[in-house]
Amino acid sequence: MQAPSTTRSEILLGARDMLPMALAAATYGVAFGLLASQSGFSFLQSLSMSAMVFGGSAQLVALDQLTAGAGVAAAIVAGAALNMRILLITASMRSALVQRPWWQIATGVYLATDASVALMQTAKNRGALASYWYLLGGGALLLLVWVASTSIGAVLSQGIPDPARFGLDFAIVAVFIALLPGLWRGRSDLFPWLVAAGTVALFVVLFPSLAGWGLLLGAISGAVVAGLSHDN
């Protein structure tokens, strides 16, 4: 176990490096809170979903399934399928999680997000390894901002009757696109990304009524290809 001062400094460093991405995530956290409230979710339900699922795209897909009347099981399957990429994210965090107590591993996996990969890249660019406490500090800050922004969106929903009118329904897409350059790690990422994008495009062109499932299958196929190519 590291000295308390070292642990504290690594947690604070992780939180500092995550801050720009956390502020960006707050944009679509507010958008999710608005959309969830407008879809009939109570304030507590919106907050609980953000705290327990902690996955922007997965939450919106699950929300879409629920509001469409598909049922809870379908919403869980849709959200879980979209989050298949988290398997690769946690695999890339293996060096930070190995030989940790089970509760620390569980906490690290819970806090793993797309931003975690970008945070690790930040540490790599600085010539350092992303330690467990560094990732914990960044993930904890992101979670705090995500839940707080969701609550703000839920409260503001009373004054914004139609979030789509202000383009807030597109906020999560815009922020995710802005994060993509930070997730790019070189040409080894090209093939999995092309497979995922190609799968989605195929469904949009050939099966427009099933475009939502194309998004899920694109995420799965990209993750499988990256896994088979040993891309961590």
How is 51-89 classified by DSSP, letter by letter? HHH--HHHHHHHHHHHHTT--HHHHHHHHHHHTTHHHHH
CB 159 within 8 A of CB 34: no
pLDDT at 141: 95
CB 87 within 8 A of CB 224: no
pLDDT at 142: 93
pLDDT at 166: 57
pLDDT at 94: 80
Check whether 198 has a pLDDT greater than 60: yes
Which pTM does this prediction carry?
A: 0.71
CB 40 within 8 A of CB 67: yes
169 vs 197: which has the higher pLDDT: 197
Check whether 232 has a pLDDT greater than 50: no
On average, the pLDDT of the chain sits at 78
Per-residue pLDDT, averaged over 54-80, amounts to 76
CB 110 within 8 A of CB 146: no
Per-residue pLDDT, averaged over 174-202, amounts to 70
Range name among 22-26, 77-81, 119-123, 151-155 with the lowest pLDDT average = 77-81
228 vs 194: which has the higher pLDDT: 194
pLDDT at 125: 74
pLDDT at 2: 57
pLDDT at 163: 56
pLDDT at 161: 57
pLDDT at 231: 46
Percentage of the chain modeled with pLDDT above 70: 78
Per-residue pLDDT, averaged over 54-63, amounts to 79
Per-residue pLDDT, averaged over 138-162, amounts to 84
Report how far residue 72's alpha carbon sits from residue 55's, in angstroms, rounded to the nearest whole number: 17
Per-residue pLDDT, averaged over 33-39, amounts to 83
57 vs 19: which has the higher pLDDT: 19
Check whether 103 has a pLDDT greater than 70: yes
What are the structure tokens assigned to 192, written together? 């999995």
